[in-house]
Amino acid sequence: MSSPVIEYTISASYGDTLVLHDVGGAISAGEIVSLVGLSGSGKSTMALALLRLLRYRGGTVTGSIRMDGAELMELSEREMRKMRGRRIGFVPQSPGLALNPRLRVETLLDETWRAHAAGKPASAELLQSVQLPTDRAFLQKQAGELSTGQGQRLLIALALMHSPPLLITDEPTSALDAITQAAILRLFATINRERGTAILFISHDLLSVAGISHRVSILHQGRLVESGSPEDVFQNPLHPFTRELVSAVPKPPVRA
């Protein structure tokens, strides 16, 4: 295994309520690590904490987040803005909430590029990499005119624009139908395989996690209770919560 792209041990709270309790981990290049938990377990808090964005939701983070030899907890907000996008890409849950519906696709691509570089982005190549159209008609579409699947692919394209070594995805398939969800999961697997991008895949969907992950970590009530390969975690769960979670996965009916 290569050296970690990111290493962290963090706690997070909202006021006096502790939401994450010394949650630690590391992700290496070319690795997909999934973070699984129920709603309210702290998964989205984890994503925002690693991005140093939790304070905008009224939260605080303590501990250590190390990347590229730097301690991110010591960086100023200006320095962190340079890290986001260039070194850490983020794919949020809902394109309907994350994308300004009135902005055209071309404008979103240009503005995301100019946040960290001069000139014009290689939009055609980027859109092709996430299986989106590259014609002028598509570029002129407003974000609000895109299907949910197209919007999610566009969010992935924007996150990948500057080829960050780490991609953090927060429930990126939860709003998608089954066919589109499968296509997005295949896209993440391709990005990981062809680019060597490390991915933190945050989800509550065990079936998606089982098919895409190299490692799985189980978050329960703000604590990391189990971690291992998908085979170990799902076939031989050790923690009572993990066993309960695995047993809740729907099984096909047995017909006489």
State the DSSP string of 23-45. Answer: EEEEEETT-EEEEE--TTSSHHH
Dump pLDDT digits (tens) for 20-68: 999 999 999 999 999 999 888 999 999 999 999 999 999 999 999 999 8
Structural domain total, the chain: 1
Which pLDDT band holds residue 85 (cuts at 50, 70, 90)? Answer: confident
Strand spans (E) along the chain:
4-14, 17-28, 32-36, 59-67, 70-71, 88-91, 166-170, 198-203, 215-220, 223-228
Instruction: Indicate whether 104 belongs to any domain.
Output: no
Full-model pTM: 0.91
Contact 66, 25 (CB under 8 A): no
Strand partners, 170: 202
Lookup: tokens for 24: 């630690």
Instruction: Indicate whether 128 belongs to any domain.
Output: no
Instruction: Indicate whether 190 belongs to any domain.
Output: yes
Instruction: Indicate whether 42 belongs to any domain.
Output: yes
Residues 106-110: what's their mean pLDDT? Answer: 95
Residue 204: which domain range? 4-94+165-247
Instruction: Indicate whether 252 belongs to any domain.
Output: no
pLDDT in the model for residue 251: 67
Instruction: Indicate whether 101 belongs to any domain.
Output: no
Q: How far apart are the first and last CA of the chain?
A: 47
pLDDT in the model for residue 255: 59
**Mean pLDDT for all residues in the chain:** 91
Q: What is the CATH number of the domain that holds 60?
A: 3.40.50.300
Instruction: Indicate whether 239 belongs to any domain.
Output: yes
Which pLDDT band holds residue 120 (cuts at 50, 70, 90)? Answer: confident
Q: At what angle do helices 148-160 and 178-195 cross, to 10 degrees?
A: 20
CA–CA separation, 1 vs 131, rounded Å? 30
Strand partners, 7: 26, 66
Instruction: Indicate whether 256 belongs to any domain.
Output: no
Q: At what angle do helices 105-114 and 148-160 cross, to 10 degrees?
A: 20
